[in-house]
Amino acid sequence: RYNSTVLRRVCKQDCEILENELCQTEYAIAKRHPHIGKQLTLEECQDLPEDDPDCLKIGLGTLMVSDDECYWEDGSGYLGRVNVSSNGMPCIEWSKQLY
């Protein structure tokens, strides 16, 4: 039987959350893996269209907790929207941190 599954690109917002916040290491490994990144085209998130009605919504944007102002340890599990420190300095994206 013919497989009629149509591959769709992931939505830009979900791609950026995966790549920059939730699964940064795993996403980088997948892009370099010979059976994933070499055979499937994993597009750069910034190259995806902003409003693609046919994109695949993973639903990651719903994970954000708008009133969450707390984080634990290195903050990697933080899902809130606060992006300014208590003294007014803009926060650095987790993906840009130097460890």
Q: How far is CA 34 from CA 7, 30, 65, 78, in A?
A: 19, 8, 36, 32
Average confidence (pLDDT) over 72-80:
63
Predicted confidence at residue 65, as pLDDT, reads 52
Six-digit token pair at 43?
A: 């597009």
Which residue range(s) make up the domain with 81?
A: 12-90
Instruction: Judge whether 2 lies within some domain.
Output: no
Instruction: Judge whether 83 lies within some domain.
Output: yes
Residue 85 or residue 49, greater confidence? 49
Predicted confidence at residue 56, as pLDDT, reads 83
**Domains in the chain, number:** 1
SS3 state at 96: helix
Inter-residue contact 90 to 84 (CB < 8 Å): yes
What global pTM score does this model have? 0.47
The CA distance from 46 to 44, in Å, is: 6
Six-digit token pair at 54?
A: 């046919």
pLDDT, tens digit, for every residue of 34-50? Answer: 766 666 667 788 899 98
